[in-house]
Amino acid sequence: MYTDRLSEHSRVEEEYFYKKDRELIEKMHEDERKKQELLARTAHYHKCGCCGHDMKETVHDALQVLQCQTCENVSLSMETLELLTQGKRFKNLVTELQIRREEALKEKEQLDETA
């Protein structure tokens, strides 16, 4: 009788610790998943969608845009895009970016000719 109560107590204790171990393991898995998710997000943060190089925050007419330092690709937030599409700023921005791109291409061609 005493041994039955002892074995019952032991079984309950084992179940308790098994449950606690499972909870800890699940928490560790969840923490690892969150860590991997954060690493994946930060690996692509401010990276160009076209060439993968770093993008730099640029302010143009009080609007913040991300511009690639290599291919000059531009990335806009939804808020910035909404502001641009409501006025003439969009046309002015596109025109200025086209002018900058043409100037950069001309400079590159000149450098290629001298080399």
Phi and psi at 61, nearest 5°, equal: 50, 45
Tokens of 99: 């002018």
pLDDT in tens, 39-94: 887 777 788 878 888 888 888 777 788 888 888 888 888 777 777 777 666 667 77
The pTM of the full predicted model, rounded to 2 decimals, is 0.42
CB 73 within 8 A of CB 67: yes
Query: Higher-confidence residue: 41 or 18?
Result: 18
φ/ψ region of 58 (left if φ > 0, alpha if ψ in -120 to 50, else beta) reads: beta
